[in-house]
Amino acid sequence: MKTLFLSITSLMLSAGAVFGQCSPASAAQNASYERVVNALQSQFKNNLPSGNWRIFDERHSVGKLQVSDEYGRLFHACGDRYDLTLERGSASRERRARIDSAVAKADPDKQETSLVLSTDSVYKESSPERARELAQSTVDINVEMNAGNYRLQDPISNRFVQSYKPIQVKGAPMAMQVVLKSVGDSGGLQPQPETVVFLGNWKNNQKTDAKGSKLYHYSFAKGGNLIENLVVTIKGPLDVAEEIIRKTDWQALSQTLTK
């Protein structure tokens, strides 16, 4: 049994060595990625929603981009693609107060490598009324690049759709508003609604598989070695998401993609 265990372990390690390795991106891949990120920053950071919204966090891999060989030649970043978190007024102050409190409680004799405080943790430790107020004061913009599929519903990851509807966005072939069901230990909180904009050669080809997943499949015209599509998900109040969509030049973002 021990020999069998070692053999299986060795096989798994060998498989890991063949698939899913990360390596520095090529010059062409870096150029494609940086062109997209620069355009995203120009559109989203320079066109904040009206009111006292501010940038809380921004994540990307410019200058440190690595790509995975898990999907062959398909461009698939190992680290951050592009994410931007916006907060206004009270939400920023509340999260800052919690960060300061966590830092004050940290062991001064122990070197902390990182401190991550999610928006959800702030919500769950607040009263229901305060949590709802905070949810109205936070927007997350998440950008996927070269997605092979978009999973509208995915039971395996506990993602269940309550409702969704298509919307028209100038310069985008497809867009929708999605309301998710609350599942698991959510403390009675509803997931933030999602407004999703698709750029590239996306088609309205939704399929439902035997496991109940509802997905859209993407066909790469140029082989996917460079960035051919984007899926931009805006999580937050629908009226704020609608304003972000109105202020964004989606055609300009689309022009950064490889065609």
pLDDT of residue 89: 76
**Calpha distance 25→146 (Å, rounded):** 15
146 located within any domain = yes
Residue range(s) defining the domain that contains residue 65: 22-88+138-254
Residue 39 in any domain: the answer is: yes
Is residue 126 in a domain? no
Please state, in angstroms and rounded to a whole number, the distance separating the CA atoms of residues 170 and 167: 10
Q: Which helix or strand (DSSP H or E) is residue 101 part of?
A: helix 90-105
**What CA–CA distance (Å, rounded) separates 74 from 213?**
23
Q: Where are the beta strands (DSSP E) in 21-112?
A: 22-24, 53-60, 66-68, 82-88
Strands 214-217 and 138-145 come out as unpaired
Per residue in 57-105, pLDDT (tens digit) is 999 999 999 999 888 888 999 999 999 999 997 655 556 666 667 667 7
Tens of pLDDT, residue by residue, the chain (259 residues): 444 333 433 333 334 444 469 999 999 999 999 999 999 999 999 999 998 999 999 999 999 999 998 888 889 999 999 999 999 976 555 566 666 676 677 766 665 544 444 454 444 555 666 666 777 899 999 999 999 999 999 999 999 999 999 999 999 999 999 999 988 766 667 889 999 999 999 999 999 999 999 999 999 999 999 999 999 999 999 999 999 999 999 999 999 999 8
What is the C-alpha to C-alpha distance for residues 26 and 67, in angstroms, rounded to an integer?
9
Considering the domain boundaries, does residue 54 fall inside one? yes
Domain presence at residue 225:
yes
Domains: count for the chain: 1
- Cα distance between residue 28 and residue 65, in whole Å: 12
